[in-house]
């Protein structure tokens, strides 16, 4: 999709999640596409372009984990990494030992566009996987 018409999703008050696989369609912020919608969050993929902190008045969700550098991995007997994304974005980090049963570990607010996640309990498990979700 490259374009969305005016008022295409206006007054869809139960619309909570909007997913985009590509670059931001137009219009990007004229406030007509999702007018009267206040519960939606726009999700988009890494590597796509044209996105800001809002899309047509709705917040966008784009957290990433830093998987290299001095802050990634085991630090002072705990495992951690830096989360980045839009300022004030709330990100829940969940963990699982089997990729089926996920438990929240920490809720992070990216106050300045980043936050450090650490899991001091990581040594209690033979393996542990992490994923990000919105609250």
Q: Quote the pLDDT of residue 80.
A: 93
- pLDDT above 90 coverage of the chain, percent: 30
How many whole angstroms separate alpha carbon 99 and alpha carbon 21? 24
Q: Summarize pLDDT for 59-118 with one digit per residue, the tens.
A: 888 888 988 888 899 887 789 999 998 888 889 999 999 999 999 999 999 988 899 999
Q: Quote the pLDDT of residue 27.
A: 64
At 5, the pLDDT band (50, 70, 90 cuts) reads: confident
Q: Are 31 and 57 in contact (CB under 8 A)?
A: yes
Sorted by where each begins, the domain ranges of the chain are 1-62, 64-133
- pLDDT above 70 coverage of the chain, percent: 96
How many whole angstroms separate alpha carbon 115 and alpha carbon 82? 6
Q: Is 32 exposed, middle or buried (0-12, 13-18, 19+ CB in 10 A)?
A: middle
Q: Quote the pLDDT of residue 70.
A: 86
Q: Please give the mean pLDDT across all residues of the chain.
A: 87
Q: Quote the pLDDT of residue 101.
A: 96
Q: Quote the pLDDT of residue 100.
A: 96
DSSP letter at 38 equals -
């Amino acid at each position: 999709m490259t374009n969305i018409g005016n008022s295409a999703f206006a007054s869809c008050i139960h619309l909570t999640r909007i997913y985009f696989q590509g670059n931001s369609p137009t219009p990007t912020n004229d406030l007509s596409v999702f007018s009267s919608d206040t519960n939606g969050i726009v999700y988009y993929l890494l590597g796509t372009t044209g996105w800001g902190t809002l899309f047509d008045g709705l917040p966008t969700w784009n957290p990433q984990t830093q998987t290299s550098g001095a802050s990634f991995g085991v630090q002072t007997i705990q495992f951690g990494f830096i989360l980045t994304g839009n300022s004030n974005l709330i990100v829940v980090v969940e963990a699982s030992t089997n990729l089926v049963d996920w438990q929240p570990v920490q809720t992070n607010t990216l106050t300045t566009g980043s936050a450090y996640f650490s899991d001091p309990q990581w040594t209690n498990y033979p393996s542990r996987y992490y994923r990000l979700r919105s609250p």
